Amino acid sequence: MVLDKECVAMLLAGGEGRRLGFLTRELAKPAIPFGGKYRIIDFTLSNCTNSGIYTVGVLTQYKPLILNSHIGIGIPWDLDRKEGGVTILPPFAQEKGGKWYRGTANAIYQNLFFIEQHNPRYVLIVSGDHIYKMDYSLMLKYHQEKGADVTIAVIEVPWQEVHRFGVMDVGEDGRIITFSEKPKTPPSNLASMGVYLFNRKLLQKYLQKDEENPLSRNDFGRDVIPLMLHEGCRMFAYPFHGYWRDVGTIESLWEANMDLLAAEPALDIYDHNWRIYTVNPSQPPHFLAATARVEQSLINEGCIIHGTVQRSVLFTGVRVGEGSLIEESIIMPYVRIGRNVQIKRAIIDENTVIRDGCRIFSRSDTEPPQIILVEKSMIIQENTEISM
């Protein structure tokens, strides 16, 4: 499978993730830790590698430091290449001064020269905000078979959520008839996953057109796709069946983590034929002491557990003291939890220290429940109670 040069992937990773509270205070949404070991962007980067796409441009804008150092030269994803590989594409200054990326389409427009450098036939545009495993090479095959100008990956979502997405009305042959961004009365429940495959020449043409339109918001979903559809381009929907999540809120981030704890998780991260790659810190195997009890949980390396952990996800280097009980929570890297601490339905961000006897819990029984978020690098003094 050689798709390199045939197809270049452009990965949008500038998202701010406004509804994720202070989790995104110091990092962009794609850099949020997920699943005990990963950052959200690892799923898309691994998808690229596993699909045989080895030329990837990562467009960053919002607080890119952690993302930049995470991606580096792409070693964990095998994207350190002599030709192609991963290139980070931040906004830059030009003769007429610097310009921020104004929208998804404008971000790609400003980097058309990067795409031209590699001279591909196709351009894949993906978002670094989503958690899913997808073989883009199958989508490309579909695109070629249909003789499409543009292919958009779609997934069926529950009707009550459709209004949050770009929604399509699709003919029997898969051809897209209408596309509406966040519609009030959706024509179907086929939502855009934000995965677009374009014929490159056409992409260039329409990005130019979009740029010249002063009324455009320079967004693929709101401007470019409707324009192309209006002008009669051959646009097809590629149906995706499988796990896909856009974790936009604290609650959905928590839920997506809990999804991994099901007896048969819908997202299989244990598949050796589709590994999810990430930066590996050199931490030792985790240690469960004689007093430990761990059930229905994911525990990463470097943890040392003396207490009880149930239905929780523990990242690298977490310590849990004797007599403590952690339930339905996400504990981010290097959090230190003392003795006799109770934590239920909470996300504790990196490096926070929770001293002995603290109680942090949410009584919420909504679906999903409200989650308590404890900020990074905090010190919570002995016997503090944080609840809602």
Partner 1 sequence: MKDVMGVINVVGRNSDLLGALTGPRCIASVPFGGKYRLIDFVLSSMANSGMQNVAVFTREKYRSLMDHLGSGKNWDLSRKQDGLIILPPHSCDGQSLPDFDLKSFFAHRNFFDRSSQKIVVVASANIICNVYFREAVRYHQETGADITVFYSEMVANEGGPPRRCLKVNETGRVLELVERQSWDQGTKVLLEIYILSKSLLMNLAEKSFLPGGADLLTGGIIPNLQKFNVCAYPLKGYSAVVDTIDLYYRHSMDLLCPQVWEELFFIPGLIHTKVKDEPPTRYLEGSAVANSLLANGCTIAGTVENSILFRGVRVHRGARVKNSVIMQKCEIGEGALVERVILDKDVRVSAGKALTGHDKKPLVVEKRKIV
By the criterion CB under 8 A, which residues form the site for partner 1? 35-37, 75-76, 263, 269-270, 275-278, 280-301, 304, 313-314
386 membership: H or E segment, kind and range? strand 385-387
- Please tell me the distance from the alpha carbon of residue 314 to that of residue 343, in angstroms, as a whole number: 13
- Please tell me the distance from the alpha carbon of residue 344 to that of residue 377, in angstroms, as a whole number: 19
Closest of 203, 208, 189 to residue 148, by C-alpha: 203
Q: How far is CA 221 from CA 13, 61, 122, 196, 234, in A?
A: 16, 19, 19, 10, 16
Closest of 78, 42, 70, 57 to residue 124, by C-alpha: 57
Q: How far is CA 277 from CA 39, 48, 196, 269, 301, in A?
A: 10, 11, 23, 10, 15
Give min distance, CB of 266 to partner 1, in A: 14
Pairing outcome for strands 190-199 and 122-127: antiparallel
Give min distance, CB of 78 to partner 1, in A: 10
If the CB atoms of residues 322 and 375 are measured against partner 1, the closer one turns out to be: 322
10 Å CB burial of residue 238 (0-12, 13-18, 19+) is buried
Give min distance, CB of 300 to partner 1, in A: 4
Query: C-alpha angle 35/63/19, rounded to 5°?
Result: 60
Q: Report the Cα–Cα distance between both ends of the chain, in Å, rounded.
A: 52
If the CB atoms of residues 211 and 301 are measured against partner 1, the closer one turns out to be: 301
The DSSP code for 220 is I
Give min distance, CB of 275 to partner 1, in A: 5
Residue 166: beta bridge partners? Answer: 181
If the CB atoms of residues 119 and 280 are measured against partner 1, the closer one turns out to be: 280
Give min distance, CB of 92 to partner 1, in A: 30
Give min distance, CB of 224 to partner 1, in A: 36
If the CB atoms of residues 262 and 388 are measured against partner 1, the closer one turns out to be: 262
If the CB atoms of residues 159 and 287 are measured against partner 1, the closer one turns out to be: 287
Helix (H, G, I), strand (E, B) or coil at 125: strand
If the CB atoms of residues 62 and 334 are measured against partner 1, the closer one turns out to be: 334
Tokens at 266, concatenated: 């819908």
Cβ atoms of 311 and 261 within 8 Å: the answer is: yes
Give min distance, CB of 99 to partner 1, in A: 38
Give min distance, CB of 51 to partner 1, in A: 17
If the CB atoms of residues 215 and 263 are measured against partner 1, the closer one turns out to be: 263
- Amino acid occupying residue 170: V
Give min distance, CB of 335 to partner 1, in A: 15
If the CB atoms of residues 64 and 302 are measured against partner 1, the closer one turns out to be: 302
Residue 314: beta bridge partners? Answer: 299, 331
If the CB atoms of residues 280 and 383 are measured against partner 1, the closer one turns out to be: 280
